[in-house]
């Protein structure tokens, strides 16, 4: 479905992604793991067209997205739920949701999907007229996910959806991620909470300073002592 | 004249001049909100609109046709400005954008001087606008009433636009978080062009009302209005639309108040007192009355 082939991305002089090759197959939930600054978010920003690779290709279902704008990338069915939520604080919950569906013309479908998102996160449905800034951190994260879903993505990019949230909310968010996965949404998930990520993912890639250093099905990684040591807090497991 | 009548008269004056400042400030605020660009060339759109209308009037068209033509002229100028000067440097450091806006100002003003000569020209305000209403001792000029009505209509339309239409909500979204706007698939180019278009329409309207008020046009006529609009939007909080409107009216009231209170020996320094008031305000509210703390630009 999605492939990154030998992608190199720079921030000015800094070589942020070094020959990254990644594949996500239809229906998979793939996790990207790695320390801060390893390049996880950079990969998602590159797929979304915010960053341009200096070399290499991003392909999605036969489209070459390497030089496409974010505007076009939404159109082929890729949604992005960014790190730090980035909800519109001055807009109401409802307006935020509408912005997620900004390119869609099917009013009835948009309405139906809005109801569906409110059924996934009932608390949002109770706050439709409230401005985004008045929501709690957990509610904002739900809104960010809901807003991304409003574009009806077939591939959903999720960047640190559990960062800084209370354990109860983290459970809820991961329940929804699992649910979406079961409904057939393909997901590329960036998570610092490796343990949680490995529980829901099918496969994962491990990044270190802009390079893919390991990849494979999660079962293999879960039993890998090095992952244990670096990402799961060693003997505590 | 009784004191009450005097107050009413000055109040109408203040609302009328405040309306013009508010309409100008909106144009600055919309563009600043999205691009973090203080578009000093915004004032020259007033000049373009006024000369456009004047040309048509000289050719003998009815006033309302000329007015419409002037507004169209300033809108085209505003859209061209965005496309030719600002879009290529989008994402450049704020200082580069500011300098570009000065360049656009200098260019437009000098072209106008070349084409129309630096001499001011009379603006043939129709007598229907020049006359005054009389309520007892109270005299209200029609142009003030028109200015206030036009401002109210435009503000209502703008409010409906930014709260009820997808494009308007997209504009608020883009001005709050440009990265998220891109990620949602908002057509940012279209949003920015729309912001320029709306600001230019308002500048065109202000140009007509301004020219009708002072009865003349000249190539540098945009300088003072844009300066006032800038002060108004700083008072209200740069980038906030409601703040721009509030700042515009506050500035109008402040000016009229000072005009009434200052002894005649100090009257020429009215604007200096306005700036002192601005400095005092900014000491207590550095982001203006309705401004939020500066966000990181992405």
pLDDT in tens, B13-22: 999 999 999 9
Q: Is any Cβ of chain B less than 8 angstroms from the Cβ of A133?
A: no
- Give A88's contacts in chain B (Cβ within 8 Å): 172-173, 176-177, 180
User: For position A234, what pLDDT does the model report?
Assistant: 44
Q: Which residues of B touch A91 (CB under 8 A)?
A: 169, 172-173, 176
- Name every chain B residue with its beta carbon within 8 A of the beta carbon of A90: 172, 176
Q: Where are the alpha helices (DSSP H) in B59-165?
A: 63-80, 94-116, 127-130, 142-164
Q: Please check whether residue A147 touches B, CB under 8 A.
A: yes
CA distances from B88 to A51, B7, B83 (A): 18, 50, 8
Residue of B nearest to A87 (CA): B180
pLDDT-based confidence at A236, cuts 50/70/90? very low
pTM for the structure as a whole:
0.91
Contact list in B for residue A74 (CB cut-off 8 A) is 183-185
A99–B188: do the CB atoms touch at under 8 Å?
no
CB count in 10 Å sphere of residue B133: 11
CA gap B181, B161 in Å, rounded: 18
Q: Express each pLDDT in B60-107 by its tens digit.
A: 999 999 999 999 999 999 999 999 999 999 989 989 999 999 999 999
Residue B154 near residue B140 (C-beta atoms within 8 A): no
Report, as an integer, the average pLDDT of A59-82: 95
pLDDT in tens, B122-147: 999 888 888 888 877 788 888 999 99
pLDDT at B9: 87
Per CB-CB distance under 8 Å, the chain B contacts of A70 are 182-183, 185
Helix (H, G, I), strand (E, B) or coil at A83: coil
Query: DSSP labels for A38-76?
Result: SSHHHHHHHHTTSS--SEEEEEETTEE-TT--HHHHHHT
Complex-level ipTM: 0.93
Which residue of A lies nearest to B182 if distances are taken between CA atoms?
A70
| pLDDT reading at B296 higher than 60 | no
Confidence check: pLDDT of A4 > 50: yes
Percent of chain B with pLDDT over 90: 77
pLDDT attached to residue B293: 56
**What band does A230 get if pLDDT is binned at 50, 70 and 90?**
low
Q: Give yes or no for a contact between A33 and A17, defined as CB atoms under 8 angstroms apart.
A: no
Q: How far is A220 from chain B (nearest CA, A)?
A: 34
Q: Which residue has the higher pLDDT, B283 or A231?
A: B283
Say yes or no for a CB contact (<8 Å) between A99 and B170. yes
Q: Supply the pLDDT for residue A192.
A: 84
Mean pLDDT over A173-189 rounds to 96
In A55-74, the residues whose Cβ lies within 8 Å of chain B are 70-71, 73-74
Closest CA–CA distance from residue A96 to any residue of chain B (Å)? 8
Q: What is the pLDDT of residue A221?
A: 77
**Residues A71, B170: C-beta atoms closer than 8 Å:** no
Q: Output the pLDDT for position B250.
A: 95
The proportion of chain B whose per-residue pLDDT surpasses 70, expressed as a percent, equals 97
Residue B227, judged by CB atoms within 10 A of its CB (0-12, 13-18, 19+), counts as middle
Average pLDDT of chain B to the nearest whole number: 92
pLDDT, tens digit (0-9, with 9 covering 90-100), for A121-158 = 999 999 999 999 999 999 999 999 999 999 999 999 99
Stretch B201-226: mean pLDDT, rounded?
94
The DSSP bridge partners found for residue A3 are A23, A59
Query: Mean pLDDT over residues B239-261, rounded?
Result: 92
Mean pLDDT value of segment A109-124: 96
Nearest CA distance, B177 vs chain A (angstrom): 7
- Tens digit of pLDDT for each residue in B157-186? 999 999 999 999 999 999 999 999 999 999
pLDDT at residue B1 above 70? no
Which of B176, B183, B186 is the closest to A89 by Cβ?
B176
Residues of chain A contacting B173 with CB distance shorter than 8 Å: 88, 91, 95, 99
- How far apart, in whole angstroms, are the C-alpha atoms of residue B182 and residue B172? 13
């Amino acid at each position: 479905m999605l492939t990154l082939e030998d992608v190199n991305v720079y921030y000015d002089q800094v070589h942020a992604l070094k020959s990254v090759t990644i594949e996500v197959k239809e229906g998979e939930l793939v996790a990207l793991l790695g320390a801060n600054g390893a390049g996880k978010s950079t990969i998602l920003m590159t797929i979304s067209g915010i960053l341009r690779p200096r070399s290499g290709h991003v392909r999605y279902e036969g489209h070459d997205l390497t030089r496409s704008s974010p505007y076009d990338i939404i159109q082929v069915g890729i949604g992005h739920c960014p790190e730090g939520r980035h909800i519109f604080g001055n807009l109401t919950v409802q307006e935020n949701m509408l912005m997620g569906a900004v390119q869609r013309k099917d009013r009835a479908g948009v309405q139906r999907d809005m109801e569906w998102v409110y059924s996934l996160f009932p608390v949002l449905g109770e706050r439709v007229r409230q401005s985004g800034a008045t929501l709690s951190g957990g509610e904002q994260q739900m809104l960010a996910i809901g807003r991304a879903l409003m574009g009806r993505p077939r591939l959903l990019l999720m960047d640190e959806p559990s960062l800084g949230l209370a354990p109860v909310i983290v459970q809820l968010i991961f329940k929804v991620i699992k649910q979406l996965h079961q409904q057939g949404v393909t997901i590329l998930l960036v998570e610092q909470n490796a343990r949680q990520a490995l529980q829901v993912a099918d496969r994962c890639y491990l990044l270190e300073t802009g390079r893919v250093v390991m990849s494979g099905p999660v079962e293999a990684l879960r039993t890998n002592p090095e992952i244990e040591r670096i990402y799961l807090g060693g003997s505590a497991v | 004249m009784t004191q009450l009548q005097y107050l009413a008269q000055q109040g109408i004056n203040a609302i009328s001049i405040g309306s013009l400042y508010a309409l100008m400030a909106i144009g600055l605020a919309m563009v600043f909100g999205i691009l973090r660009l203080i578009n000093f060339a915004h004032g020259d759109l007033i000049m373009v609109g006024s000369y456009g209308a004047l040309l048509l009037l000289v050719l003998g068209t009815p006033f309302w046709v000329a007015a419409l033509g002037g507004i169209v002229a300033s809108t085209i100028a505003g859209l061209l400005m965005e496309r030719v000067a600002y879009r290529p440097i989008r994402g450049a450091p704020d200082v580069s954008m500011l300098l570009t806006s000065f360049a656009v100002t200098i260019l437009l003003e000098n072209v106008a001087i070349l084409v129309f000569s630096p001499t001011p020209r009379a603006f043939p305000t129709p007598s229907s606008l020049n006359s005054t209403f009389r309520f007892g001792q109270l005299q209200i000029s029609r142009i003030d009433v028109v200015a206030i009505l036009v401002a109210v209509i435009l503000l209502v339309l703008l409010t409906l636009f930014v709260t009820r239409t997808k494009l308007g909500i997209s504009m608020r979204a883009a001005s709050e978080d440009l990265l998220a706007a891109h990620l949602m698939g908002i057509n940012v180019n279209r949003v920015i062009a729309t912001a320029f278009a709306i600001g230019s329409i308002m500048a065109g309207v202000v140009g007509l009302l301004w020219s009708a008020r002072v009865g003349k046009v000249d190539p540098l006529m945009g300088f003072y209005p844009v300066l006032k609009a800038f002060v108004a939007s700083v008072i209200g909080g740069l980038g906030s639309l409601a703040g721009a409107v509030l700042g515009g009216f506050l500035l109008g009231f402040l000016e009229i108040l000072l005009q009434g209170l200052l002894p005649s020996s100090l009257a020429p320094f009215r604007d200096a007192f306005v700036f002192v008031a601005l400095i005092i305000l900014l000491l207590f509210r550095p982001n203006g009355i309705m401004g939020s703390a500066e966000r990181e630009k992405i």
